[in-house]
Amino acid sequence: MIIEITAVPKSAKFRITEKDGKIKIYLTSSPEDNKANIELLKELKILGCSATIAAGLKSRHKKLEVDKEAWQVIDKD
């Protein structure tokens, strides 16, 4: 399943929010040297949802390919 997200780097803590069908993922890492992308994939894996970045590797607006069933059980504030 492909989902569209907005990544927010340099946040106080990692969290996922969904409001009006729009998903924001807050990351503690900076975007330099691909650190935020690495954190994004690592945190999703910890939550039990393996993901790959399908588009937007160097953008805040990304398309992620995720496992549909695993994504649905992740808590989104």
**Confidence band for 76, pLDDT divided at 50, 70 and 90:** confident
Assigned architecture for domain 2-72: 2-Layer Sandwich (3.30)
Task: Tokens for 31, please give them.
Answer: 């975007």
- For the chain, the domains span 2-72
Q: What is the pLDDT of residues 18-59, one digit of tens each?
A: 999 999 999 999 999 999 999 999 999 999 999 999 999 999
Predicted TM-score (pTM) of the model is: 0.92
For 37, other C-beta atoms within 10 Å of its C-beta total 19
Give SS3 for 59.
coil
**Confidence band for 64, pLDDT divided at 50, 70 and 90:** very high
pLDDT score at 17: 96
